[in-house]
A and B are shown apart, each in its own frame.
Chain A
């Protein structure tokens, strides 16, 4: 049955014609593998006859040498094919995930696992198909070769394989229990370690590391016991699997022995029989490839899910010159004209829809109803570039991307160092940055940032873009009141007369706003100045009940 991912998998093969090389090596390699036991038998018969026949020796040398050469080449061909296909899938998935934008339909962890894990599995599709082909052809070929030597051999082989498999049976269920027990204890240990890691400063200051290590390690004996159980179960499985090969070998060799006595086959052919039996048994060991095929198709489907998700459309318009005049029309029942230069505060309890409104004003999400107009143009009609150049957004928990501190502030735009510095000064984070080991050039990976420091860098990132509208989505929540008011003044002087939309929990911030939008349960509850709204007890409780 065709699955959504199958089309993607077939395009993985079609886009890179070099799979032809792999098939060529496979055909030559399998042919050689099937010829080798026969060539070897001939050579042994020759040796047993006590004569040296050059063509026989050269033929053996040719087929074995060719097989080695072709196998060597196929390693490189297969790796090239797989890695190119994987990279191609990863590029496509990464770019499509970025096009899908925010809010992301796939959780970040899920996206990463599709991009890294599933792409790598699906990228190996061509190699997997060829391997499956090799397995089937060489097993079937080996049975045919046995039949050509003596049809009885093929019959004995085919009859003994099911018998052997019966002996083996699978003991998957047994291991599953052991693995589960091991994983549970392992998880408990990891959780204990994480507890302790969360309290590292307490542990370091009190010198209780040794005592706490003992506490974390308490489940260790259980882990060892579960582990030992796993190995014992494996031992039982190995034992049964170990019985299969001798059973089949014994049956076929005995049949061949009768053939030798009856003169149907030569003594050297005993070796050919051993070789073909091993080749034919190959399919048993490769049965797991069918599981791999299923897994590959599942991965293909997971990738197709990403690639088939429609990306949100962007408009075509470029924003005309303007001062940053906002018109909010029917978004979450908010109808408000925000003249350029206004300081608009959005307040409400947690979960009241403040951030959703800010996200709509910031052009990060398209509201189900209504629209936001910037200088007369609906945000949804603007190109992505034009929109995000005009509206700067800073968040409560910014994700700071980019190699260095300076890169993370100027992320996505080309900007001079002096401007980055000025933005950081406005965001009151310059003093923190210059105290880092390499100042603005310090790699982000080596920069331990507190919540408040990260917030201020995120703020600098919004300021450095010099936007018409600045949206601060609780972007100063981790700052103490002193720093917050400094930031406020600095923005006034760095971006004078800029329209500002500020989501806040703090009464002091709402006091400074020209107009306050009060949200409740996803809708607007009231609009007005802080002093007017303050008369309402419910409004007051937003501040006294929420923020301590």
Chain B
């Protein structure tokens, strides 16, 4: 969903809160509305007429009204939370959902810094919205109230004095887009400079070892100069804005000074009215306009920039489609081809494979050759460029998501553990499983001791499995999949942090569990335990049993030899 639309929906969704806020604004505007009038009265009836105490009385009324305005402002602030926080809640929700449903995750490493950046943008939006509601709203209220006050004290001049102000505000509004653009460029340039410096400083060891201090310095310097240029361009736009607003407040004052003598002489304006009009213009309108211009250039632009950046960086969610229901759990790959782009060589090319329900396949090959991509294709998270992945006779990416997620389980190399009890973590894919079932699954993959040591199912795990080793975290993730009802289990280097004997135990446990097992192997020993082996080595894929491949494929034999020159392959059978 569009971030900008969501933002405005969230604000208008709290119409009541906004209305209450605006109602209190009226109170806040009263001092501006009455200030000139009251000072005028104090002079006309009091000090100007030689009656000191009447003058003081009007001034006391003036002070009282100011206090009333401050009270209104207090109410506005107290109610701000009711509008701002729900809006921030809504943004946080969409960001979290967006990040967690990002369709590009299967090909990217999880990017923690991007997440941090997005959450920072949300905070900026929160602060800036508050700033806008407080400052910009307050200043607009003050300006409007003062103009109305002006109209009631010096009615015949109101149009003439008000028009330049309105023209200035309109011109200012027209300048905003270019100001926003420059501000955004400046923000990007600043981020870019920090990134360039960060890259070089994080990699200083590599910079030194490459003797590349000159190149690295030049990269940072270029980013720094770009930022400096962008900052100056923002200033030019700000200066122009200041000029427009300055003229907008100067012209009415000069008009008043030029026109008033005639009107006073002909008795059309009282002294107090002239004084009041000047008070409105100089103590209310002029400062409010200047501050409005300043606040807008900082607060509103920060808001616009953050919303825009949020819209750009927040992942787009695409609705999951597919309504096919598979017939059985056989997997069939037909002419499967997949690559990242037009120029890129395919990672998987023309792969044909039939995997009957209950079969155990190991996928071996050098790192980076696209084994994980195959896992993405098998689970239906990615769609092939050519050919098809059929699950129960229908394309797996077209299977109804609920059915697919239940039938196929993937354990990737990066382990997912969250803050919560061990039970919650283990039951992630099987919410209805009993404690006995969870403990049984843990025992089968060899995690029984571990569960006992951390304090049983009720023990709480820290963030990202804090306190557990990488291997222990993997054991819990494996127990979780074992406890699920999935018919097809894919282990994508899910045992990379286990020692060889623990790995063997896990693979045996999954082989004994009913259902299809695909092991994307970290070690070649996995191949020895599988019914069949798929070798991916960048060329045409090889498929067969371990013995067949040893006999028919020189490359496979070499792989086995290179992997372990000192041991015979039989000694590794556990």
Contacts and interface: CB of A to CB of B under 8 A. Distances in A.
B343 interface: yes
Interface string A129-142: 00000000000000
B283 A278 contact: yes
B476 to A, nearest CB: 12
B85 A481 contact: no
Contacts of B219: 401
Interface string B235-278: 11011101100110010011011101110110000010011001
Interface in B143-201: 190, 193-194, 197-201
A146 B70 CA distance: 26
Contact of A44 (B193, B275, B565): B275
Interface size class of A (residues with CB under 8 A): 35 or more
Contacts of A65: 250
Give chain B's interface residue range (CB within 8 Å of chain A). Answer: 35 or more
Nearest to A84: B228
B341 A437 contact: yes
Interface in B17-51: 39, 42-43, 46-48, 50
Contacts of B71: 239, 242
Interface in B471-526: 477, 492, 498-500, 522-524
B211 A83 contact: no
Contacts of B48: 260, 267
Given A83-B231, A239-B71, A480-B366, A384 B238 contact: no
Interface stretch (B8-16, B86-94, B441-449, B540-548): B86-94
B163 to A, nearest CB: 19
B86 A224 contact: yes
A371 interface: no
Interface of A, helix, strand, loop or mixed by DSSP: helix
B296 interface: no
Nearest to A82: B231
Interface in A404-460: 411-413, 428-429, 431-432, 434-439, 448, 450, 452-453, 456, 458
A452 B66 CA distance: 69
A505 to B, nearest CB: 14
Interface of B is mostly: helix
A26 interface: no
A227 B463 CA distance: 24
B108 A448 contact: yes
Contacts of B260: 47-48
B52 interface: yes
Interface stretch (B298-306, B325-333, B408-416, B452-460): B408-416
B530 interface: no
Interface stretch (A245-253, A291-299, A329-337, A516-524): A245-253
B122 to A, nearest CB: 10
A401 B81 contact: no
Interface stretch (B98-106, B352-360, B386-394, B432-440): B98-106
A379 interface: no
B532 interface: no
Contacts of A80: 232, 235
Nearest to A48: B271
A231 B203 contact: no
Given A104-B204, A437-B343, A389 B194 contact: no
Among A80, A103, A384, A480, the one with the most B-chain Cβ atoms within 10 Å of its Cβ is A480
B52 A261 contact: yes
Given A116-B193, A220-B89, A271 B74 contact: no
Given A202-B411, A261-B47, A192 B63 contact: no
B119 A190 contact: yes
A398 B224 contact: no
B264 A48 contact: yes
Given A91-B221, A204-B381, A245-B66, A435 B347 contact: yes
Given A90-B193, A274-B283, A434-B344, A548 B499 contact: yes
B132 to A, nearest CB: 14
Given A199-B418, A389-B211, A483 B344 contact: no
B136 interface: no
B339 to A, nearest CB: 6
B141 interface: no
Interface stretch (A12-20, A209-217, A317-325, A344-352): A209-217
B81 A203 contact: no
Q: Which of B239, B341, B565 has the most CB of A within 10 A?
A: B239
A195 B348 CA distance: 31
Nearest to A393: B209
B116 interface: yes
B383 interface: no
Given A72-B239, A116-B193, A399-B203, A246 B66 contact: yes
B367 A201 contact: no
A73 B271 CA distance: 37
A52 B381 contact: no
B404 interface: yes
A478 B411 contact: no
Contacts of A75: 235, 238-239, 242
Nearest to A86: B228
Nearest to A438: B343
Contacts of B198: 108-109, 112
A485 B524 CA distance: 14
B104 to A, nearest CB: 10
Interface string B210-233: 111111110111001101110110
A227 B85 contact: yes
Contact of B207 (A243, A261, A401): A401
B551 interface: no
Contact of A52 (B47, B227, B262): B262
Contacts of B199: 399, 401
Nearest to A412: B212
Contacts of A462: 209
B366 A428 contact: yes
Nearest to A99: B213
A101 interface: yes
Nearest to A462: B209
B410 A206 contact: yes
Interface in B68-122: 69-71, 73-82, 84-86, 88-89, 92-93, 96-97, 99-103, 105-112, 115-116, 119
Given A200-B105, A278-B283, A481-B563, A439 B343 contact: yes
A87 B227 contact: yes
A231 B81 contact: yes
Contacts of B415: 198-199, 202
B287 to A, nearest CB: 8
Contacts of A481: 524, 562-564
Contacts of A439: 343-344
A533 interface: no
A508 interface: yes
A235 B78 contact: yes
Interface in A154-209: 186, 189-209
Contacts of B46: 257
A41 to B, nearest CB: 9
Contact of A364 (B126, B205, B247): B205
A498 to B, nearest CB: 16
Given A249-B63, A438-B341, A48 B257 contact: no
B232 A437 contact: no
B242 to A, nearest CB: 5
Contacts of A239: 70-71, 73-74
Given A101-B204, A227-B84, A401-B203, 11 more contacts: A47-B257, A72-B242, A220-B89, A220-B93, A228-B85, A270-B43, A384-B213, A395-B206, A401-B216, A411-B210, A435-B344
18 contacts: A44-B274, A47-B257, A60-B253, A80-B235, A202-B477, A203-B100, A205-B408, A206-B405, A220-B93, A224-B86, A234-B80, A254-B55, A254-B59, A274-B279, A275-B283, A384-B211, A432-B368, A481-B524
Of all A-B residue pairs in the complex, the 8 with the closest CB atoms, nearest first, are: A199-B416, A412-B212, A242-B70, A399-B203, A79-B235, A388-B211, A228-B81, A207-B405
